[in-house]
Amino acid sequence: MKQKTIVYKLSDSTKKEMVKYFEDKKRDKTPPYALFQANEADTVVTLYESGKVVFQGISADIDASMWKEREAYLNNGKKIEDLTKKKDNKEKTKDNKDYYFISSIGSDEVGTGDFFGPIVVASAYVNKKDISFLEELGVKDSKKITDEKIIKMAPEIIKKIPHSIILLNNKDYNDNYSKEINMNKIKAILHNKALLSILTKNNFTYDMIVVDQFVNARKYYEYLSEMQNVVRHISFTTKAESKCLSVACASIISRYLFLKEMNKISNDLGLILPLGASSEADKIGVKIVEKYGEKKLKEISKLNFKNMDRIIEKNN
| Mean pLDDT, the chain cut into blocks of 10 residues (316 residues total) | 82 91 85 85 88 88 89 86 63 64 95 96 95 88 82 96 96 90 94 96 90 93 94 94 94 96 97 94 95 94 93 83
Instruction: Check residue 96 and give its pLDDT.
Output: 58
Give me the residues paired with residue 52 across strands.
9
Contact 38, 63 (CB under 8 A): no
Q: What is the pTM of this model?
A: 0.69
CA 186 to each of CA 46, 112, 117, 198, 261: distance values in angstroms, whole numbers, following the listed order: 46, 10, 15, 19, 19
Give the separation between CA 48 and CA 7, rounded to whole angstroms.
11
State how far Cα 268 lies from the chain centre: 33
Instruction: Check residue 269 and give its pLDDT.
Output: 96
Q: Is residue 28 helix, strand or coil?
A: coil
- When the candidates are 3.30.390.50, 2.40.50.140, 2.40.50.100, 3.30.420.10, the CATH number that belongs to 104-265 is 3.30.420.10
Helix, strand, coil % over all residues of the chain, rounded to 5: 50, 20, 35
Residues of each domain in the chain carrying CATH 3.30.420.10:
104-265
Question: Do β-strands 208-212 and 104-110 pair in parallel, antiparallel, or remain unpaired?
Answer: parallel
Question: Do β-strands 43-48 and 34-40 pair in parallel, antiparallel, or remain unpaired?
Answer: antiparallel
Instruction: Check residue 77 and give its pLDDT.
Output: 84
In this structure, whether the domain defined by 4-92 belongs to CATH 3.40.50.300 is answered with no
Residues of each domain in the chain carrying CATH 3.30.310.10:
4-92
